[in-house]
């Protein structure tokens, strides 16, 4: 369980420590490959009550990880959802036992392309099997069993995290009471798939990619991965947010001064920084693997392409949240999910949030967003009798 510190900002989880568990049970992936065992890294916040009915699962998106809240020793930057997880916050650690897991295929300690393939004794690299969102759900269920949790009070996630929440409602409908689906979609649009393929091509075009076997050759496609992140990052932001933050301001050079001085716009400097920073912390094979998983996701494929038929299997309540300036997972996508749930006769609430922050809005502070989450989960805690 997470450890706390008294010397941290108000309403902070405090200092936290990741945990690692070996799941000593076979996991059969959708592609047919069986992982005899696999490791998962996760963090927990709060306390599991005696009834074991106050557990919440946090599902991360493409580049996310287990570190959703609190601080690591020596770090000044908190987890990626620290605005919303903590004592008295929307996802209240005083009332819920919150589990945040790094999924298989990622590169933050859970089994993935950077792990050793037990069959060969070498790093998996590009040979790591393809994944579907349902594989993440099945792995999370094994973690759930390890933690002796019978049913999630809620499964919560944004973007790809929201896809996992929906998949939970279909794969294990009796194992969650609520699904909170934020800035998500039942399947990717052609435009989204196109952006993902451009990013993958950028990675594979790097001469250090080595057909995905760069780790074995002690190399890394940092340039290609940085380009991929720059492509993705632009699509997560809105034109208005970029304009307000950067406009056409220069980071270096001068249009009036010497023509020999290179001119760089602030937005160029920002994107280069974000790309370089990401490439030093993420794995290229993981990026390719997870973007393909996003492309493959189609909630209703096995139900005759009918989302209504798919959601007929769900038993939980749903909260849908969208953001007005999100053009990668637009409000229309959340409305489609909501309409399908209503037609399927499910209990669903939908809130459309005004924001100029684009797709990244689900990660950022927003009063109405905070109140929507907080009110929904407060009512849930009251219903469960969570202290």
**CATH number (domain holding residue 248):** 1.10.1740.110
Give the relative orientation of helices 133-146 and 160-171 as an angle to the nearest 10 degrees: 70
Which of 63, 100, 159, 325 is labelled catalytic?
159
Q: Which residues form the domain of 207?
A: 193-290
159 counts as catalytic: yes
- Does 156 share its domain with 204? no
Question: Per-residue confidence of the chain (387 residues) as pLDDT tens digits?
Answer: 343 333 444 488 999 999 999 999 999 999 999 999 999 999 999 999 999 999 999 999 999 999 999 999 999 899 999 999 999 999 999 999 999 999 999 999 999 999 999 999 999 999 999 999 999 999 999 999 999 999 999 999 999 999 999 999 999 999 999 999 999 999 999 999 999 999 999 999 999 999 999 999 999 999 999 999 999 999 998 888 777 877 666 655 555 655 566 756 777 888 888 999 999 999 999 999 999 999 999 999 989 999 999 999 999 999 999 999 999 999 999 999 999 999 999 999 999 999 999 999 999 999 999 999 999 999 999 999 866
- Does 284 share its domain with 367? no
326 counts as catalytic: yes
Domain assignment present for 13: no
CB atoms inside a 10 Å sphere around CB 117: 14
Contact 93, 11 (CB under 8 A): no
Contact 355, 244 (CB under 8 A): no
The total of structural domains in the chain comes to 2
Contact 232, 221 (CB under 8 A): no
What global pTM score does this model have? 0.93
**181: nearest Cα among 350, 365, 368:** 350
Which of 206, 326, 334, 355 is labelled catalytic?
326
**CATH number (domain holding residue 323):** 3.40.50.1820
Q: How far apart, in whole angstroms, are the C-alpha atoms of residue 316 and residue 73?
A: 38
Domain assignment present for 201: yes
Concatenated DSSP letters for 149-207? Answer: -SSBSEEEEETHHHHHHHHHHHH-GGGBSEEEEES--SB--HHHHHHHHHHHHHHHTST
């Amino acid at each position: 369980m997470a450890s706390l510190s008294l010397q941290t900002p108000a309403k902070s989880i405090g200092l936290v420590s990741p945990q690692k568990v070996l799941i000593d049970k076979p996991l059969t992936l959708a592609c047919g490959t069986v992982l005899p065992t696999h490791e998962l890294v996760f963090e927990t916040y709060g306390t599991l009550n005696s009834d074991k009915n106050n557990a919440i699962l946090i599902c991360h998106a493409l580049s996310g990880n287990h570190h959703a809240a609190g601080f690591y020793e020596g770090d000044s930057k908190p987890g990626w959802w620290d605005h919303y997880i903590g004592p008295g916050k929307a996802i209240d650690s005083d009332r819920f036992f919150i589990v945040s897991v790094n999924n298989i295929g990622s590169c933050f300690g859970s089994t993935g392309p950077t792990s050793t393939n037990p069959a060969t004794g070498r790093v998996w690299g590009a040979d790591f099997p393809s994944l579907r969102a349902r594989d993440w759900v099945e792995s999370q269920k094994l973690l759930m069993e390890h933690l002796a949790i019978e049913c999630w009070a809620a499964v919560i996630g944004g973007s790809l995290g929201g896809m996992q929440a929906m998949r939970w409602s279909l794969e294990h409908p009796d194992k969650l009471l609520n699904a909170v689906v934020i800035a998500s979609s039942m399947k990717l649009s052609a435009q989204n798939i196109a952006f993902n393929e451009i990013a993958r091509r950028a990675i594979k075009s790097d001469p250090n990619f080595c057909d995905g076997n760069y780790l074995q050759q002690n190399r890394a496609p940092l340039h290609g991965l940085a380009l991929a992140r720059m492509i993705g990052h632009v699509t997560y932001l809105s034109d208005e947010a970029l304009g307000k933050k950067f406009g056409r301001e220069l980071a270096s050079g001068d249009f009036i001064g010497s023509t020999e001085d290179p001119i760089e716009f602030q937005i160029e400097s920002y994107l280069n920084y974000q790309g370089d920073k990401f490439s030093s912390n993420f794995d290229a094979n993981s990026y390719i693997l997870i973007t393909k998983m996003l492309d493959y996701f189609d909630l209703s494929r096995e139900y005759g392409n009918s989302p209504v038929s798919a959601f007929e299997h769900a038993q939980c309540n749903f909260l849908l949240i969208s953001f007005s300036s999100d053009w990668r997972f637009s409000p229309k996508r959340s409305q489609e999910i909501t309409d399908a749930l209503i037609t399927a006769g499910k209990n669903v609430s939908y809130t459309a949030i005004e924001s100029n922050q684009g797709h990244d809005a689900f990660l950022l502070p927003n009063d109405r967003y905070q109140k929507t989450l907080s009110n929904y989960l407060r009512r849930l805690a009251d219903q469960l009798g969570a202290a």
